[in-house]
A and B are shown apart, each in its own frame.
Chain A
Amino acid sequence: MQRLLPLLAWLACTAAAADESRYQKLTSQGTTLPPHLGPWACIVDKQTGLVWENKTDNEGTHLDAATYSWFDAASGTGKAKSGSCINTRLQVIPCDSSDLIAQARRERWCQRSDWRLPSAAELQGLLLDTGFIGNPRIATGFFPHTGRFPYWSADLRQNARNEYEARLVHFGSGQSLWLPTSAAARIRLVAGPSR
């Protein structure tokens, strides 16, 4: 085990350096932060140009443990108000993906007003095996408060019962899955043009 420790330390340092070259922290006002500073509200993926919402354990709009049903308010598609989130008055309320998107846009979170659900491919682009059992599959140094849970994507389909299902990416298993839009799951929003 003693011989393994330097190897593990080297792996961790190498991974951290790679993360730092790919990701950039932003404050809620959109100001860039160096990797060792915080708190930060968003993360820029310099590879894709996308800006990701950072989650937090503070109760409020961006709470990590909040869940949402999948709902597109513009088309009325999906299931409204079937998750549990916390509003700006710190009350637990039923909510859906459109609520989080609307709130992030209203806040101009990180100076962006184009917040949306990411595609499954965009979410999968965040997957990273850190090598540590029990960690979520993501660069946890930049994306803390990520759960080993499924996260909604924007991908939508109709099943054999003509019910809408949306795709999720699981940051514990790395797998993707389809669930009815009435399911409650976590969300990490993204801003930037869809690919």
Chain B
Amino acid sequence: MKVYRRIGLLCLGLALASQAEAAVKNVRIVWEANPSSEAIIGFSRSGSAGSSGQYVKYGSSTTESSWQNSATAIKRTFKSSLDNYFVRLTGLTANTEYYFRACDSTGCTEPYFFRTAPSAPQGLTFIAGGDSRTNRSQRQQGNRLVQKVRPHFVMFSGDYTDNHSASEMDTWLTDWLLTYTPTTINGVAYKQAYPLIPTVGNHEASDMNFMCSVFGVDADRNGSCSLRDSYYALNVGNLLRIYTLNTEFGSSQANDRTAQRNWLNGDLPANGTSAQWRLAQYHKPMFPRSSSKPAVHQIALDWAQVFYDYRMNLVNESDTHIAKYTKPVRPNGSDYQEVSAGTVYIGEGAWGAPVRTADRSSPWIVDQGSFAHLNVIQATASNVDIRTVYLSSEPSTSTLSKGGRDADPLALPTGWSLWDSAAVGNVFSLKRAANNLTELNESTSVPGQSISLSATRDVTVSSSGTLQNGNTVLADGDDAGKQLRALLGWGLTSVPAGATVQSASIKLNVVDPSSGSYNLHAMNSSWSETTATYAQTSGGTLIGSVVPSSNGSASITLNAAGVAMVQGWLNGSMVNHGVVLSSGGSSNGVDFSSRESGNAAQLLLNFTVPTTR
């Protein structure tokens, strides 16, 4: 009898274990149409388990017992081996959180939630970018940045992977999970997922049906995958109408290319006015900004006139792996012409792909550069503001809380580094012109400024009680049994009054590198180069870290607490006691130039000041 009881318990245990370990993975949310009331939930089969009956359990409250089961998911296989399942949720309530798990016959995933699009006028924060195909660490960094922004949705303009293989796409989908923000609600650990609006890139040209088989897009609602699923439009409330277009139709797909153009030529006049702003995304730019690309992509240029005629406001392009902002433009033959009100083009995709030289200059360019980035865009009825964020600043970027996002749809994290583009600054601000095209928002845009300040005091303090104030400043976890810490301070009188710090970093000129990690903390008490003590260097807030692994410049980006500290110094709400650099555990010391050497540590500030221009 005991044996049967044990077998029964074993079976129960196995059943519970299988309940917790569904053979599905890589959950994603996709918007293709009507995002106020619809969403596609996709997921993939994990391993080779022969599970069946895939579905989604979901509800609009965290009370799981009230959730309903969807219909059985539709299975679509990518490249013969990556099995994906899709459930299209319909009849959803606008601007509402939906909680769900993806399930199969063996169990369910961990719980997720997403928010449907608002139907009423409301500001939106969303992300646009593309080209994540080769530099996986940068791709993951960008994904973690998404997690920290908690955007309403993400526009991805193509080139997910390099070879468009099933294994590469599987890895990409796994990396996409990094965009989800761990969020505890009523004691339950959820992840907030952000709807993706996907696009075809040239690296997907070998199988453009992936839009349907990987992301579940079925633009023509015919229940099967076709090239018609690679272009579509959706409204996010009545604020945005977003067009996703396909630049990858080749010569053998001339009919599809024509069909897309005809669709666009019909949809923009008919539906473009259903929203206050019209946006588009596609992969290949009309006029790539690198000479390593063709001077013009005709398939995209074919859209320029209908864009202008029917008030396309903002276009996100990709493919070149550079950053750019254009002025408002209209087509002019095989070029653009700058106009006071026109279409603004941004891009060109560097979310984990080798950056190229932005070496094509044009009079209609505001600025262009070469660095890994994504664009954080904020839209209201009157303005669209674009911030181009360096992916490298992800570690110092704060994570916006759920409460922060719920309270303010335009809330942003702190601690990131933004592109300080020429004549624009950190925020590229646009407004709608009287004719509904786009104008530069010069009346309210806040120009970004930057300043580099040399340290006005620096000294090395030793745990042995000595000071060292020569041509180098040192930090070391074990210097013949002593610990060395470097104190640095700057005067801030040259920073304009009223400055709001957007980002801050400290640059050291390393003359003896270390493979160890070094931490930067706020100093909490006053010191001078002759009175500083080792004892007073402990206890300050951690504001950054660095591995100064090579001679030359080493940059420490200050985290949110560090930016707040500098802001406090400027406001007078905190006393400017400077900072201290100390070993994070390494006994491999670092030496860097002191102010006495003439190459002092620099405090670099990016800031804005109120303007009335």
Contacts and interface: CB of A to CB of B under 8 A. Distances in A.
B198 to A, nearest CB: 24
A67 B356 contact: yes
Given A99-B550, A184-B371, A168 B357 contact: yes
B490 to A, nearest CB: 16
A195 B114 CA distance: 63
Interface stretch (A12-20, A22-30, A74-82, A115-123): A74-82
B372 interface: yes
B138 A83 contact: no
A177 B553 CA distance: 26
A59 B359 CA distance: 25
A61 interface: no
B422 A150 contact: no
Given A81-B392, A83-B355, A182 B371 contact: yes
B356 A184 contact: yes
A98 to B, nearest CB: 6
B486 to A, nearest CB: 18
A138 interface: no
A117 to B, nearest CB: 14
B281 to A, nearest CB: 23
B370 A182 contact: yes
B291 interface: yes
Given A83-B370, A184-B356, A185-B357, A149 B507 contact: no
Nearest to B599: A76
Interface in A61-109: 65-67, 69, 71, 73-74, 76, 80-84, 91-94, 98-99, 102
Interface string B374-415: 000000000000000000100000000000000000000000
A87 to B, nearest CB: 11
B370 A183 contact: yes
Interface residues of B, number: 28
A195 to B, nearest CB: 25
Contacts of B392: 81, 94
A179 B360 CA distance: 10
Central interface residue in B134, B292, B392, by most chain A CB within 10 Å: B292
Interface in B472-526: 507, 509
Interface in A174-195: 177, 179-180, 182-186
A119 to B, nearest CB: 19
B135 A73 contact: no
A84 to B, nearest CB: 4
A94 B553 CA distance: 14
Contacts of B565: none
Interface string B541-570: 000000000111101000000000000000
A168 B359 contact: yes
Nearest to A183: B370
Query: Chain A interface: which size bin?
Result: 35 or more
Given A99-B550, A102-B550, A182-B370, A84 B355 contact: yes
A173 interface: yes
A67 B354 contact: yes
B369 A180 contact: yes
A170 interface: yes
B224 interface: no
A83 B356 CA distance: 8
B291 A183 contact: no
A65 B291 CA distance: 14
Contact of B372 (A91, A94, A182): A94
A3 interface: no
B135 A161 contact: no
B253 interface: no
Given A92-B135, A92-B137, A92-B138, A148 B292 contact: yes
19 contacts: A71-B552, A73-B550, A73-B551, A76-B509, A81-B555, A84-B372, A92-B137, A92-B138, A148-B292, A149-B291, A150-B357, A168-B359, A170-B291, A170-B359, A177-B359, A179-B359, A182-B371, A184-B357, A186-B357
Interface of B: 134-138, 291-292, 322, 354-359, 369-372, 392, 422, 507, 509, 550-553, 555, 599
